[in-house]
A = this chain, B = another copy of it.
């Protein structure tokens, strides 16, 4: 098998840095394609293609406005990424490390104690 399609899920879609850039720009509000072209310094067809991928995974919505298409962020689609990676926060956050220390101490106390309610 080959690599999973970029349109498989949000993880694959945002692995491409340009697509993250697009979302970052859209975080500032609805934008037509050409604004994104200017903002990213990419050719228009590539932007349209990136937008298609983002649309297929639900990370953006489109609205027609004359000959323009206004794209809008739909952050909800990024939630699975957030939820997954959040579990790893403890591995680098000092706050969580401290909490782990406290929890370990509590656990030790509980065990050495024989009974739970001290």
Contacts and interface: CB of A to CB of B under 8 A. Distances in A.
Contact of A92 (B76, B85, B91): B76
A88 B14 CA distance: 13
A13 B16 CA distance: 11
Contact of A15 (B15, B23, B78): B15
Interface in A69-114: 73-76, 78-79, 81-82, 84-92
Contact of A88 (B4, B12, B75, B89): B75
Interface residues of A, number: 29
Nearest to A80: B85
A49 interface: no
Contact of A20 (B73, B84, B86): B84
A89 B15 CA distance: 18
Interface of A: 3-4, 6, 11-12, 14-17, 20, 23, 27, 73-76, 78-79, 81-82, 84-92
